[in-house]
Amino acid sequence: MTAATGRRVAANISITLDGRYHGPDGPTDLGAIVRYATTETARRHLSRLHAGATTALLGRVNAEGFLGYWPSVASDESADPRDRAYATWLVDTEKVVLSTTLSDAPWAGARVVDAPVADVIAELKATGEGDILVNSSPSVIKAALSADLVDRLHLMICPEVAGGGRRLFDDGLPSSRWELALQETGELGETAVVYDRVR
């Protein structure tokens, strides 16, 4: 078995006060989250995400959604510089897309892998350097949490109760302890937090 290189797995997602990453009408129901996505706090949060990361690990749906949005931001000189910096990083960095249905990578610099999340993370941690960032791909984040493979957790907590929809933290996760590394609250009451896994 190949030894791990010490790479961290960082995960990021926005959730409501009741722990949901979308509302009761399904994955496109982001009404309780989207209004907080462009605040100053959210943009500083975005800027921290990719610092030190050299690989983006994405689910298929997220990869395809990102392809429809972020490349144009990278080339938009009028976009917020923090958005452009993240977009440029995402376009230029190694992208690993987890999918059981794709045969071709959805964009340049990406490769498709049909394997369990834990196996893919183990392979990535055995090679290369820099953090592995799972950004807003709930299925990948949940699988990594279930396998206790997340080392840093970035959360944007939106001050709304969705009342329905999928939750990030399902019953049955292994117990774990986390240390607060950063907390920032914005003008709308949104709170960006970063937690490091205590092992």
User: pLDDT for 8-43, tens place per residue?
Assistant: 999 999 999 999 999 999 999 999 999 999 999 999
> Mean of the pLDDT values across residues 155-178?
96
Q: What is the pLDDT of residues 73-83, one digit of tens each?
A: 999 999 999 99
Q: How confident is the model at residue 2 (pLDDT cuts 50, 70, 90)?
A: very low
Residue 109 confidence (pLDDT):
83
Q: How confident is the model at residue 97 (pLDDT cuts 50, 70, 90)?
A: very high
- Percent of the chain scoring above 70 in pLDDT: 97
Of 69, 49, 60, whose CA–CA distance to 193 is shortest?
49
Residue 133 confidence (pLDDT):
97
pTM here is 0.92
Q: What is the pLDDT of residues 41-59, one digit of tens each?
A: 999 999 999 999 999 999 9
For the cut 80, the answer to whether the pLDDT of residue 1 exceeds it is no
Mean pLDDT, all residues of the chain: 93
Domains recognised in the chain with CATH numbers: 9-198 (3.40.430.10)
Cα-trace Rg, the chain: 16
Least confident segment among 18-27, 97-106, 117-126, 181-190 = 97-106
How far is it, in rounded angstroms, from Cα 2 to Cα 125? Answer: 9
Residue 5 confidence (pLDDT):
66
Residue 29 confidence (pLDDT):
94
* Class of residue 156 by CB neighbours under 10 A (exposed 0-12, middle 13-18, buried 19+): buried
